[in-house]
Amino acid sequence: MKRISVSSPANIALIKYWGMRDVQNTLPNNASLSMTLNRCVSRCTLATLQRGVSDEILWQVSSSALIPADPTLRQGIERHLQTLREHFDHWQPLRIATTNSFPTGAGIASSAAGFSALTVAFAVHCGHSPQHPDLSDLARRSGSGSAARSVLGGFVQWPCDALLLSGPARQIAPAHHWPLHDLIAVVDTRRKTVSSRQGHLAAASSPFYLTRLDRLPERLDNLRRAILERDFDTLADLVEREAVELHMIAMTSQPPIFYWQPATLAILARVRQLRSEGLEVCATIDAGPNVHVLCTAQDSPGIFAELRKLHGIERWILDRAGDGPRLLHEHLF
């Protein structure tokens, strides 16, 4: 049985995608910019089954045993498989197994990593390169817009045309340009109760949403420049403003969405304090209570030593900027 296995990382948005202009096609209201991670990955193994049988969709539990995927995961994968099959005109039934190295559905971009891994694995299975130019658009059509960014490594903007808000993702700079660390404080490993999708749909009901959209192009340009110039102070200022603004929009939407927990705020406050003491550190938060603490490699050990003293954090994941999806020689079955 010929198997293809791919690992694809999650990513952390520095400028957040929040709100859609086309729900059917997962097209955003604003351009976003993220850093692809290294250790938070989804792995996916895929192999052809004989004609006439149904697809087998499996989930690898921590003991490395494979169990049938739960109905939500199965539905999501089957829907995306239909898109991939039509695009690559490849119709044979498949066995697919997948797993994550980090908590699923807790706001650490597990859908982005998972759909990116499946998209890349399917393309490679059909004989294409893992750098096929259609992969970002295909990953986005899974319904997880942030998946469009996970097919690339380093610092990634989506869509590439920030004015027309169209096109696939593009890399702004590779990970080695600025190998920032991301200390992820997992405040809550449980599945979040309000999905990003609900957040996207509610965003425009916030009275502050249009102001946000007006100001974002300038923030994106400034952040892109800060990354290219490795200007941490500017990055820190922009990234924290952006994170707070996203959650302010969520909290003032109809119905209001509150992702933060007390520990979320405690980490933010401590990070600001450490920065005022001269350390290169800032924080951002996607749609969940978990905090991504971004810092330079040289300051990372000292910052972690301080932050781990805080209470209310279930676990830490020490991650950094990464290179994007890669083919694996080890398979899940």
Residue 111 touching ligand DP6 (CB under 6 A): yes
Residue 118 touching ligand DP6 (CB under 6 A): no
The nearest distance, CB 16 to ligand DP6, in angstroms, is 4
**CB-nearer residue toward ligand DP6: 59 or 158:** 158
Residues 123 and 85: their CA atoms lie apart, in Å, by 10
Residue 16 touching ligand DP6 (CB under 6 A): yes
Instruction: Give the binding range for ligand DP6 (CB under 6 A) out of 11-19, 45-53, 58-66, 207-215.
Output: 11-19
Can you read off the two tokens belonging to residue 142?
């899974």
Instruction: Give the binding range for ligand DP6 (CB under 6 A) out of 84-92, 141-149, 303-311, 323-331.
Output: 141-149
Residue 144 touching ligand DP6 (CB under 6 A): yes
The residue whose two tokens read 């351009």 is: 31
| Euclidean distance between the first and the last CA atom of the chain, given in angstroms as a whole number | 10
The nearest distance, CB 259 to ligand DP6, in angstroms, is 9
Residues 152 and 136: their CA atoms lie apart, in Å, by 8
Task: Enumerate residues 29-48 that contact ligand DP6 by CB under 6 A.
Answer: 32
DSSP state, 129?
-
CA diameter of the chain: 65
Residue 13 touching ligand DP6 (CB under 6 A): yes
DSSP state, 191?
P
Can you read off the two tokens belonging to residue 242?
């952006």
Residues 62 and 94: their CA atoms lie apart, in Å, by 23
Site string for ligand DP6, 252-291 (x = CB under 6 A): ----------------------------------xx----
Residue 319 touching ligand DP6 (CB under 6 A): no
- Phi, psi dihedrals of residue 250, rounded to the nearest 5°: -60, -45
Residue 113 touching ligand DP6 (CB under 6 A): no
**CB-nearer residue toward ligand DP6: 45 or 142:** 142
Residue 212 touching ligand DP6 (CB under 6 A): no
The nearest distance, CB 14 to ligand DP6, in angstroms, is 9
DSSP state, 175?
G
Residues 296 and 285: their CA atoms lie apart, in Å, by 18
DSSP state, 54?
P
**CB-nearer residue toward ligand DP6: 92 or 189:** 189
Burial of 163 (0-12, 13-18, 19+ CB in 10 A): exposed
Residues 42 and 163: their CA atoms lie apart, in Å, by 32
The nearest distance, CB 24 to ligand DP6, in angstroms, is 14
Residue 145 touching ligand DP6 (CB under 6 A): yes
Enumerate binding residues for ligand DP6 (CB under 6 A). Answer: 13, 16-18, 32, 109, 111-112, 144-146, 196-197, 286-287
